[in-house]
Amino acid sequence: MFYKLFDEEGKYKDKTTGELKNMMEVNWAWTPEGDNVGWDSFDSIEEAMTYYNIEIIIEDEINN
Protein backbone atom coordinates (compact mmCIF):
# COMPACT_ATOMS: atom_id res chain seq x y z
CA MET A 1 0.00 0.00 0.00
CA PHE A 2 1.02 3.61 -0.50
CA TYR A 3 0.57 6.40 2.03
CA LYS A 4 0.79 10.18 2.07
CA LEU A 5 0.59 12.50 5.06
CA PHE A 6 -1.05 15.92 4.76
CA ASP A 7 -0.81 18.92 7.10
CA GLU A 8 -4.57 19.35 7.32
CA GLU A 9 -7.33 18.39 9.71
CA GLY A 10 -7.94 14.67 9.69
CA LYS A 11 -8.35 11.76 12.05
CA TYR A 12 -4.70 11.69 13.13
CA LYS A 13 -2.44 13.85 15.26
CA ASP A 14 1.32 14.23 15.50
CA LYS A 15 2.55 12.50 18.66
CA THR A 16 5.13 15.22 19.35
CA THR A 17 3.33 18.45 18.48
CA GLY A 18 -0.33 17.45 18.70
CA GLU A 19 -0.95 18.98 15.26
CA LEU A 20 -3.84 17.50 13.31
CA LYS A 21 -2.91 15.45 10.25
CA ASN A 22 -4.66 13.61 7.47
CA MET A 23 -3.27 10.45 5.90
CA MET A 24 -4.38 8.79 2.69
CA GLU A 25 -3.96 5.08 1.98
CA VAL A 26 -4.15 3.88 -1.63
CA ASN A 27 -3.31 0.82 -3.69
CA TRP A 28 -1.68 2.93 -6.40
CA ALA A 29 -1.20 6.67 -6.89
CA TRP A 30 -1.11 8.08 -10.39
CA THR A 31 0.57 11.48 -10.30
CA PRO A 32 1.69 13.88 -13.07
CA GLU A 33 5.29 13.03 -12.12
CA GLY A 34 4.73 9.27 -12.44
CA ASP A 35 3.30 6.30 -10.58
CA ASN A 36 3.47 6.66 -6.80
CA VAL A 37 5.80 9.69 -6.91
CA GLY A 38 5.58 11.52 -3.57
CA TRP A 39 3.93 8.57 -1.83
CA ASP A 40 5.57 6.21 0.69
CA SER A 41 5.23 2.43 0.56
CA PHE A 42 4.57 0.42 3.75
CA ASP A 43 3.35 -3.09 4.48
CA SER A 44 0.68 -1.84 6.90
CA ILE A 45 -1.06 1.27 8.17
CA GLU A 46 0.64 0.72 11.53
CA GLU A 47 4.06 0.97 9.85
CA ALA A 48 3.01 4.20 8.15
CA MET A 49 1.73 5.67 11.43
CA THR A 50 5.02 4.80 13.15
CA TYR A 51 7.06 6.32 10.33
CA TYR A 52 4.98 9.53 10.31
CA ASN A 53 4.92 9.64 14.15
CA ILE A 54 1.13 9.96 14.26
CA GLU A 55 -1.72 8.36 16.16
CA ILE A 56 -5.45 8.08 15.60
CA ILE A 57 -7.46 10.72 17.42
CA ILE A 58 -9.79 9.22 20.01
CA GLU A 59 -13.45 10.03 19.25
CA ASP A 60 -13.83 11.90 22.57
CA GLU A 61 -10.95 14.24 21.59
CA ILE A 62 -12.66 15.09 18.29
CA ASN A 63 -15.86 16.18 20.02
CA ASN A 64 -14.13 18.42 22.59
Domain boundaries, the chain: 1-28
Instruction: Tell me what pLDDT residue 19 has.
Output: 96
Any residues with CB less than 8 A from the CB of 8 and at least 6 apart, and which?
20, 21, 22
Q: Name the stretches of the chain with pLDDT < 70.
A: 59-64
Positive or negative torsion for Cα 2, 8, 12, 17: positive
The per-residue pLDDT for 58 is: 81
- Contact between 20 and 9 under an 8 Å Cβ cutoff? The reply is yes
